[in-house]
Amino acid sequence: MTDIPAKASVASASNGSVLLTLMKARTFIALIAVLIFFSIAAPNFLSAANLILMSKHVALNAFLAMGMTFVIITGGIDLSVGSIVGLCGMVAGYLVLNGIDLQVGYTIYFNVFEIALITLAVGILIGAVNGLLITRLNVAPFIATLGVLYVARGLALLSSDGRTFPNLVGKPDLGTTGFGFLGAGRLLGLPVSIWILVVVALGAAYLAKYTPLGRHIFAVGGNERAARISGVRVNMVKMFVYMFSGFCAAIVGLIISSELMASHPATGESFELNAIAAAVLGGTSMSGGRGTIGGTIVGAFVIGILSDGLVMMGVSSFWQMVIKGLVIIVAVVVDQAQRRLQSRVTLMQMAKAG
Amino acid sequence: MNAAIDHDVILKLEDVSKVYSGTVAVKRANFEVRKGAVNVLVGENGAGKSTLMKIIAGVEQPTLGRILLDGEEVSFSSSGDAVSRGIGMVFQELNLFGNLTVAENIFATREITNRFRKIDSREQERRAAEFLERLEAGIRPDMLVEDLRIGQQQLVEIAKAVSLDARILIMDEPTSALSAAEVEILFKVIADLKARGVAIVYISHRLEELIRIGDYITVLRDGRITGQETMKNVDTQWIVRQMIGSDAKDFAKADGHVPGEEIFRAADICLPRVTGGFAVDHVSLSLRAGEILGIYGLMGAGRSELFDCIMGRHGHATGAIFIAGKKVRERDTTRRIRRGLALIPEDRQREGLVSILSVASNLTLASLSRFVRLFHISGAKENHAVAQMVRELAIKVADPAQEVSSLSGGNQQKVVIGKALLTGPKVLLMDEPSRGIDVGAKADVFRTMRKLSRDGLGILFATSDLDEVMALSDRIAVMSNGKLTGMFDRAEATEAALVAASALGHGPPHTESHAHD
């Protein structure tokens, strides 16, 4: 989580600009600010139970935002994640309740682990469809994922005719019990979903920083032509980021279904917007090439804590929307100001160096 | 041409200089523009032609010197000023609005309106049609500009300039996108304008064209005017001599090592053009280890496209390439780099660098697999390689974690070269490696090329700079219009022979119009 300010502070320490350092750490400062504000303004805000509950809320958005971050760094956008959440939830629910009917008198039931794997595969597959549309058929990412948004949502609704799959406890004799573990289980006192978030986030941050694939993601977003000439397999990189985004969405679908012990086909509507907001708040540049996983997670926490805190204070949900919007706009304005300041400092350094 | 010796001088530049921060683009130029004649201006890239024209058209103001129009001193503070004094210009880069109609473009900023300030489109289109008719291009005034071919767009640009009713008309490479037939029509229009007493200033790289339509010729080199003559008295040889001059640049000396075995061969490379014909037309060449093969040619001769084909950037290119005698079957850039090919592209900003990444990340971008264990990039190994490249190429950078965009042009170019070298290439393709960098960095780049060839690399380098190709190459290939039109040993190559070969087969389709200069 420290790696947003970390990279920045190396450069800024040398030019001694305090303002620049503050601006670079803005998401972190915002996080501390909302934490302090609500711990004073909202009673019980700092109780362990409330913090864990909030973390569970934040985790859902954080998963989607991580996938979104990689996509945005390559210069794309993924609008389909909310629908993938819904569809994957339905897939999991369907498998728990009905298994797969082989049409020859047998029905296969899977255990919960297998169901999770199949659901993740479905998410990755839809991500691959996004990727193929964008790389092979040259559809603009906005349009391709918008189309998939509708298709996936439609399929989710078709799967149950618009109804909810209720009561996903499973049957002991079919081996389908234990689906609630993801949403309600705990390890070492923390919810399972938080542990999953920690693992995926560490993995994603590692990938971004220490692997060729991660470096290539940034290169593609920074200058696709130069990346291609340098031998980067641009299409493979793009396929990966959309598949990873689908994977993250599938995790969220599983967790939500597990928490509710039910799958509702409308789950996840407009989640994509929260994910984009978290990524942008965390310093991801919509024009590509810039962004960090740590920043995005902090961004997700700022948005999540803000909305939960406002609920606890009893602020109307209409005002909550206004406030959330303002926070996002301010974040981007500060981001632009930082860029300008940064380039001025760089120019001055160049002038000094001669 | 019936060029009477004494056309009246309408515009005169006296001792005009133009200085940009640090560089002198034009030095004490004296230039006369004569009425009813085609005044040709010629020079290599960066010689200062465009700057001189911009001064006449009011786009730039001279730092020193006087401009005399009809014998009285004038100064233009903007291009609008110049237009009102009867000076029009056809710019090299098309200045058209694709989303508007031809007529709307021709009358942009001086729309014809009726009493109620409403644009009178019918009148605009009627008048536009008159101008277009003269150009015989079959362009309807109500067509959208973006629906026109690039050559037709250029004709619209010309119609726009003609419609200004200028006394002096400047044309900066007007034929660069025109077909042979369209060029003929343009020449007819020029003759017509001449007959009406319009002074035309004509800039072009195509020597044969200049000799055909020019009345007076002025040659620029490095911002200085090196020759002024009536066209009758000169030939191609003279022009080239004035253009090139004889002053030496700082080229690293050859060290006399002998090239080894053939390391690279391209056989019958073809790249069809969308508009028909070939951008690269059946080109075959071979390169030995430790040899520098210069590829000389004018803009759009197909040099960059040849390199692109070799690197596997065009799926529809045909032909075969061999490295050390073995055929390269891989068709994509990634695997061709692994086979030992590396390209230093012409356009550093667009194709060479990821400008928001650090110097270090850019250097290692193409060779990351060398520093990877399993899937982990070893920071120590990477830093070591980066430090070594920074030292070897003398890249001036305080901290390799700095963004590459903060470096000067020359150092950026060294980063691009370093990136290619880190892939451990056997064959290096360099496309205009000295473009847009300062003298010191140029010398460094040339020295690096010498050193690499001594180490046994084969180097193919493309340039439109005659001095460079003569000084650095062991052998020189000349391309023109997509074809290989000459292959000279260093010993037997002469500048005149290269220039002659680079002009072969010119005229017809010439779709590329690089914006430069």
Q: What is the DSSP string of A18-73?
A: HHHHHHHTHHHHHHHHHHHHHHHHSTTTTSHHHHHHHHHHHHHHHHHHHHHHHHHH
0.90 cut: is pTM over it? Answer: no
For B406, which of A210, A225, A350 is closest by C-beta distance?
Answer: A350
Q: Which among B314, B357, B395 is the top mutation candidate for probing chain A, defined by the most A β-carbons within 10 Å of its own β-carbon?
A: B357
- Strands B427-431 vs B458-463: parallel, antiparallel or unpaired: parallel
pLDDT for residue A203: 96
- Chain B residues within an 8 Å CB radius of A346: 403, 406
Domains, in order of start, for chain A: 3-10+44-347 (1.10.3470)
On chain A, the residues whose CB falls within 8 A of the CB of B372 are: 211-212
Give the Cα separation of A87 and A158 in Å (integer): 10
Residue A267 is predicted with a pLDDT of: 93
Nearest residue on chain A to B339, alpha-carbon basis: A231
Query: Which of A210, A212, A350 comes nearest B369 by C-beta?
Result: A212
A222 and B337: CB-CB below 8 Å? Answer: no
Strand B341-344 vs strand B427-431: parallel, antiparallel, or unpaired?
Answer: parallel
Q: Is A211 within 8 Å of B333 when comparing Cβ atoms?
A: no
pLDDT for the residue A185: 83
Residue B365 to residue A225, Cβ atoms within 8 A: no
B contacts of A349 (beta carbons < 8 Å): 406
Distance CA A180, CA A93 (A): 11
Contacts of B4 (CB under 8 A, 6+ apart): none
Closest CA in chain A for residue B332 = A231
CB-based contact, B378 to chain A, within 8 Å: no
B440 Cβ partners below 8 Å, 6+ apart?
B410
**Strand B224-230 relative to strand B262-272: parallel, antiparallel, unpaired?**
unpaired
B235 or A60: which leads in pLDDT = A60
CB contact, 8 Å: B369 with chain A? Answer: yes
Strands (E) across chain A are located at 100-101, 107-108, 186-187, 190-191
* Chain A touched by B339 (CB under 8 Å): no
Subunit contact A230:B403, Cβ cutoff 8 A = no
Q: How confident is the model at residue A353 (pLDDT cuts 50, 70, 90)?
A: low
Q: Do B9-244 and B262-340+459-507 show the same overall fold? A: yes
| Mean pLDDT, chain A, integer | 87
In chain B, positions 408-437, which contact chain A (CB-CB < 8 Å)?
408, 419, 423
Question: How far is residue B286's CA from residue B278's CA, in Å, rounded to a whole number?
Answer: 21
As a whole number of angstroms, the distance between CA A100 and CA B323 comes to: 55
Residue with more model confidence, B505 or A251: A251
Question: What is the token pair recorded at B445?
Answer: 């780049």
Residues of B in contact with A226 (CB under 8 A): 345, 350-354, 365
Q: What is the pLDDT of residue A245?
A: 97
Interface test with A, best of B331, B353, B356, B407 (most A CBs within 10 A): B356
Q: Which residues of A touch B311 (CB under 8 A)?
A: 229
Domain coordinates in residue numbering, chain B: 9-244, 262-340+459-507
Output A238 or B256, whichever has higher pLDDT: A238
CA distance A80 to A139: 14
Contact list in A for residue B403 (CB cut-off 8 A) is 346
Sign of CA dihedral A45, A49, A54, A55: positive
d(C-alpha A186, C-alpha A234), whole Å: 40
Test B368 with A226 for CB contact under 8 angstroms.
Answer: no
B515 inside 8 A of chain A by CB = no
Output b/e per residue, A79-91; b: 16+ Cβ within 10 A.
bbbbbbbbbbbbb
pLDDT tens per residue across span A33-52: 888 999 888 888 888 888 89
Q: Which CATH superfamily is domain B9-244 in?
A: P-loop containing nucleotide triphosphate hydrolases (3.40.50.300)
Query: Tell me, what's the pLDDT at B4?
Result: 45
- Do β-strands B475-480 and B483-489 pair in parallel, antiparallel, or remain unpaired? antiparallel
B314 and A CB contact within 8 Å: no
Q: Are A210 and B377 inside 8 Å of each other by CB?
A: yes
Calculate how close chain A gets to B176, using CA atoms only, in Å.
26
Q: Give yes or no for B372 touching A (CB within 8 A).
A: yes
The answer to whether B336 touches B328, Cβ cutoff 8 Å, is yes
The residue of A136, A229, A235, A345 whose CB has the most chain B CBs within 10 angstroms, and thus the best one to mutate to test that interface, is A229
Q: For residue B491, report the phi and psi dihedrals to the nearest 5 degrees.
A: -65, -35
Q: Which fold has domain B262-340+459-507?
A: Rossmann fold (3.40.50)
When CB atoms are compared, the residue of B355, B375, B402 closest to A223 is B355
For the stretch A144-178, pLDDT in tens is 999 999 999 999 999 998 899 988 887 777 777 78
Q: Which residues does chain B have within 8 Å of residue A74's beta carbon, measured at their own beta carbons?
A: none
Do A346 and B403 lie within an 8 Å CB cutoff? yes
What is the spatial distance between Cα A160 and Cα A176, in angstroms, rounded to a whole number? Answer: 19
Of A226, A289, A349, Cβ closest to residue B352: A226
10-residue mean pLDDT profile of chain B (517 residues): values are 61 83 72 90 76 86 86 85 86 80 86 83 87 81 83 84 86 78 84 89 82 88 83 80 62 75 91 80 90 84 89 88 89 90 88 90 91 87 92 86 80 91 92 77 86 91 84 89 88 84 60 40
For the cut 90, the answer to whether the pLDDT of residue A224 exceeds it is yes
CA distance linking residue A148 with residue A344, whole number of Å: 42
Both tokens assigned to B71: 């014998």
Residue of B nearest to A225 (CA): B351
Torsion over CA: A151, A155, A156, A162 (sign)? positive
**B377 Cβ under 8 Å from any chain A Cβ:** yes
Q: Does B355 sit within 8 Å of A218, measured CB to CB?
A: no
What per-residue confidence (pLDDT) applies to A250? 96
